[in-house]
Amino acid sequence: MDGRCRFLQPRHRCGAYEARPTACRLYPHFVVYWNLETARPVYADPPPLADAAAAGPVVPLLLGHEQCPGFTGAPLTDDDWLALLEETDHLQRNLA
């Protein structure tokens, strides 16, 4: 409805599952690790986010689906973006 998930409830709660699936918790963000030397994404075992800077030419990129109407609010600060990157990376790796 209106381009939103029909199960999205107030406060971004899921109306279909008691615990939202990882894909839903990640949406609309995803972390891609980019190798600056090869100009290609890293698919196999990217470094942990905390070690990415020390891993050489690999940098994490936080990607987002800009058409997602599910999240609105004030613009994010640099600290907010970093926290979102860390949370998204954590979810993607299925860490507890």
Q: Cα 4 to chain center, whole Å? A: 18
Q: Report strand pairing: 29-35 vs 58-64.
A: antiparallel
> Any idea where the domains of the chain sit in the sequence?
21-92
In single-letter form, the type of residue at position 10 comes to P
pTM for the structure as a whole: 0.65
Can you list the alpha helix ranges (DSSP code H) found in the chain? 22-26, 78-92
Let me know: does 22 contact 94? Beta carbons within 8 Å.
yes
Q: How many whole angstroms separate alpha carbon 96 and alpha carbon 94?
A: 6
Q: Which residue has the higher pLDDT, 48 or 87?
A: 87
pLDDT digits (tens, 9 = 90+) for 5-41: 777 777 767 787 777 777 777 778 888 888 888 899 8
Res. 90: pLDDT tops 60? yes
